[in-house]
Amino acid sequence: MIRITDEIQLHEDEIDLEFIRASGPGGQNVNKVASAVQLRFDVRNSPSLDDRVKVRLRSIAGRKMSKEGILTITARRHRTQHQNREDAIARLVALIRRALERPKIRKKTKPTGASKKRRLEDKRRKARLKRNRTQPPDDDS
């Protein structure tokens, strides 16, 4: 069981781990050993998450989630399979925890009278300053 919170836990069967070869530097070791991990989690069909969390997870995940609702996380930061596996699971847990937080509802506010007055006074001051920079017209013409 992968523990997300006290109430939410994912069963190991819900995630699919595949070990792949990592790209990048590392010499012959990179070409021989499949140390990178690709974690797949079917968000749409997960019994552990409620619908509101699934919707928020979809918006948070972005390109990591396919149209079918499968979240894919690739971990290749470390040199060992075990460390990359732990990293991928930790990133999944972090994403789900972020989706669990309800977004703050924005309350519409109006600017105060004093702030409106300050803004208009600043505009007048700037306009006066710019008006003083211009040269007066020639009367010789």
Label residue 129 by pLDDT band (50, 70, 90).
very high
Query: 3-state DSSP call for residue 51?
Result: helix
Find residue 75's DSSP bridge partners. 37
The single residue listed with the structure tokens 């991928």 is: 88
Model confidence, pTM:
0.62
Domains defined along the chain, listed by start:
2-100 (3.30.160.20)
pLDDT (tens digit, 9 = 90+) per residue, 13-72?
777 777 777 666 666 666 666 778 888 888 777 777 778 888 888 888 778 777 887 888
pLDDT bucket at 1, cuts 50 / 70 / 90: confident
Return the closest-CA partner of residue 25 out of 35, 13, 37, 38: 35
Residue 9, pLDDT > 60, answer yes
In terms of pLDDT, which residue wins out, 111 or 93? 111
